Amino acid sequence: MKTYRQAWANFFNPDHPAKRPTFKGRFRSRMAVDVPQGRDLNIVRLNRRWGAVNLPKVGRVRFRWTKDLPGVTKGGPAGRITGARLVKQAHGWHIVFRTEPQVSAPASHPGPPVGIDRGINVALALSDGTMREHCDGLTAGEKEHLRRLEKKSARQRRTRTPGQPTSKRLRRTYDQIAKARATAKRRAFDWQHQTTTELATTFGVIKVEDLRITNMLRSAKGTAEAPGKNVAQKSGLNRSISEQAWGRTVTLLEYKSADRGGQVVKVPAPGTSQTCHRCGHRDPASRNGTVFACVNPVCGWGGHADTNAAININNADGIAVPGRGDLGVTRSVKRQPPRAA
Binding site for Zn ion (CB under 5 A): 276, 278-279, 281, 294, 296, 299, 301
CB of 273 to Zn ion, least distance (A): 14
Closest approach of Cβ 308 to Zn ion, in Å?
9
Other C-beta atoms closer than 10 Å to the C-beta of 175 total 12
Which CB atom, from 46 or from 291, has the smaller least distance to Zn ion?
A: 291
CB of 275 to Zn ion, least distance (A): 9
Minimum separation from the CB atom of position 94 to Zn ion (A): 51
Minimum CB distance to Zn ion smaller for 177 or for 299: 299
Q: What is the DSSP string of 28-45?
A: TSPPEEEE--STT---EE
Distance of closest approach, residue 130 Cβ to Zn ion, in angstroms:
21
Find how far residue 31's CA is from the centre of its chain. Answer: 20
Residue 226 exposed, middle or buried by CB count within 10 Å (0-12, 13-18, 19+): exposed
Strands 92-104 vs 330-332: parallel, antiparallel or unpaired? antiparallel
Strand arrangement of the beta sheet that strand 59-64 belongs to: 44-45, 50-55, 59-64
Strands 50-55 and 291-293: unpaired
Q: Which is nearer to Zn ion, 270 or 300 (CB)?
A: 300
CB closer to Zn ion out of 134 and 278:
278
Map residue 219 onto helix, strand or coil.
Answer: helix
- Nearer to Zn ion (CB atom), residue 279 or residue 320: 279
